[in-house]
Copies of this chain bind each other. A is one copy, B any other.
């Protein structure tokens, strides 16, 4: 537990010094040109860095974000910059010998090299990787030896809370290419996973006793992050497109501080794409409407977007021909629903990004995109808590995403994932169409994510006539499914407000993990369970 004393590296300005044009907005093909102009990468131990080193000039022609001082918690407001970091400014002096920071010598890191075998575009399957995969090599002193911009000497030492410049550059460029936020002073910081980012966001904005805005069914763990902090749920009704803006407006317009014993909520947690648990995806129009309500009531939108790149091909049923995959990167990017970040003229969106669903959860690396003011408060917090995500994870991701695939190969990988998940979802939907009794089971084909949300018309259950409450019937069906050797998640587990009365009944099924054969068997078992239960 020692301070990562940052070795300051001269910040490279964004001044245009050559005649090469940087595309506006930045595109994948424009990245090499822009990198060349940008100049040197900070490669020292715990080198200070920020997204401003990597954003293209096009970003800066836009207006600045609004300030959100009025929403920071007492904890966030009272957080100061690290004392020990004040020494870092002196490290720039030429010839300085530092006996200041307690950084261990790389001689004592017992790892000389790391090799990883990864897929080569376009051979993304495990089988193809075995045949055509590439082995990437990371040596201890690759930077000094001119072999790479990142190595074990740096990644195994202390780092900055923003994450290493090498990976921060990649996610900053990726953010610009995909979302081109409409204000100028946006930044990124890496985080030790997006769950941790959400925990920190709550501590940054909320005080004990506050309400937060949640979708009426939401990711149970995200809600459970909030309760011990003394926060309460103000649940917003949802439909097959997720969050209903009118419901959000109503709730906020009619907020009664006295009756609620709390100020009007100003933090919205939403999973706009492939929502967990409902699988709903907000359309572009829906997002615009929600954003307007957020502006009207000055609400900060925390968009948790692990499933953004699990947007799938349109579902066309079993017999129609499959729609063609995106023909190129542009078509792929255009096929994606615009994020809240891309609509965010005010800088009121905190976007939580994750590699968990698109690379691997075990990396425990995610990133946040928000205004400079908000990112700065996150970073101050990380400095004295998680410090930074694992350097080993950062190195693996950098070698794979930046050095090997580049932005182009990464988008190819994401298109591949899109088709794989389309295939998985279609298999589940076909099984549901084949097996489930449609008299009582209804669903909307999910357009994104990992989850299928099945509504059960519980009022037709024989238990109703016998006076059994909804909750008891849900449990009975769940346990009967368990008896039939199939495990689904109960809809009530995802209620944002546990005191809310549920009118409907749902079960959540995922198509992420099991094979098509197992999914078919599982759904056939669930169908049998339903027939048993409903005496069909």
Q: Show the binding face of A for B, using Cβ within 8 Å.
A: 1-4, 74-76, 78-80, 82-84, 86-87, 90-91, 93, 95-105, 107-119, 124-126, 129-130, 133, 140, 155-159, 192-196, 198-199, 208, 219-222, 224-225, 227-230, 276, 304, 306, 352, 354, 356-365, 381, 383-393, 396, 400, 413, 417, 420, 450-451, 482, 485-489, 493, 508-514, 518-519, 521-523, 525
Inter-subunit contact A115/B112 (CB<8 Å) = no
Which residues of chain B have C-beta atoms less than 8 A from A124's C-beta?
A: 110
8 Å CB contact of A100 from B2, B74, B488: B488
Chain B residue at smallest Cβ distance from A74:
B230
Contact indicator B194/A95 (Cβ below 8 Å):
no
* With A82-B220, A513-B98: A140-B112 Cβ-Cβ less than 8 Å: no
Number of copies: 2
New A-B contacts (17) at CB < 8 Å, excluding given A78-B228, A99-B487, A110-B119: A1-B222, A1-B304, A80-B228, A87-B487, A95-B485, A96-B486, A97-B521, A102-B450, A103-B512, A105-B513, A108-B420, A157-B361, A192-B386, A193-B386, A224-B384, A361-B391, A362-B391
Q: Which residue in B2, B117, B304, B364 is a CB contact (below 8 Å) of A356?
A: B2
Indicate which residue in B103, B195, B228 contacts A386 across the interface (CB closer than 8 Å): B195
Give the complex CA separation of A386 and B387 in angstroms. 12
Minimum distance in angstroms from A439 CB to a CB of chain B: 21
Query: A195 CA to B229 CA in the complex, in Å?
Result: 20
Shortest beta-carbon distance from A451 to chain B in Å: 7
Bound together, the chains give a CA A70 to CA B485 distance in angstroms of 43
**In the complex the two chains form, what is the Cα distance from A178 to B400 in whole Å?**
39
Bound form: Cα–Cα A227–B4 in Å: 19
Q: Is the CB of B413 within 8 A of A392?
A: no
Once the chains are docked, how many angstroms separate the CA of A390 from the CA of B159?
Answer: 15
Which residues of B have CB within 8 Å of A102? 276, 450-451, 510, 512-513
Please pick, from B91, B99, B359, B450, the residue contacting A509 in the complex, using a CB distance under 8 A: B99
Q: Is the CB of B361 within 8 A of A104?
A: yes
Complex: A65 Cα to B103 Cα, angstroms: 36
Of A96, A108, A512, A521, most buried by chain B (CB within 10 Å of CB) is: A108
> Which chain B positions have C-beta within 8 A of A99?
486-488, 509-511, 514, 519, 522-523
Q: A157-B362, A364-B390, A513-B105 are in contact. Are A396 and B485 (CB under 8 A)?
A: no
**Chain B minimum-CB-distance residue to A193:** B387
Query: Which residue of B114, B361, B385, B485 is within 8 Å of A225 (Cβ)?
Result: B385
Contact (Cβ within 8 A) B112 A129: yes
Contact status A219-B1, CB under 8 Å = yes
A-B contact pairs, 18 of them (CB 8 A): A1-B222, A1-B354, A1-B356, A3-B221, A75-B228, A79-B227, A96-B485, A97-B487, A97-B525, A101-B489, A109-B360, A114-B115, A114-B116, A192-B192, A192-B196, A192-B390, A363-B392, A392-B393
Query: Smallest distance from the beta carbon of A175 to chain B beta carbons, Å?
Result: 18
Which residues of chain B have C-beta atoms less than 8 A from A4's C-beta?
A: 361
Closest approach, in angstroms, between the C-beta of A140 and any C-beta of chain B? 7
Nearest B residue to A114 by beta-carbon distance?
B116
State whether A78 touches B227 (Cβ < 8 A): yes
Give the most central of A364, A486, A489: most B CB within 10 Å: A364
- Chain B residues with CB below 8 A from A208, complex form: 74
Docked pose: A228 CA to B220 CA in angstroms: 28
Q: What are the residues of chain B within 8 A of A357 when measuring CB–CB? A: 2, 104
Please tell me if the beta carbons of A363 and B510 are within 8 angstroms of each other in the complex.
Answer: no
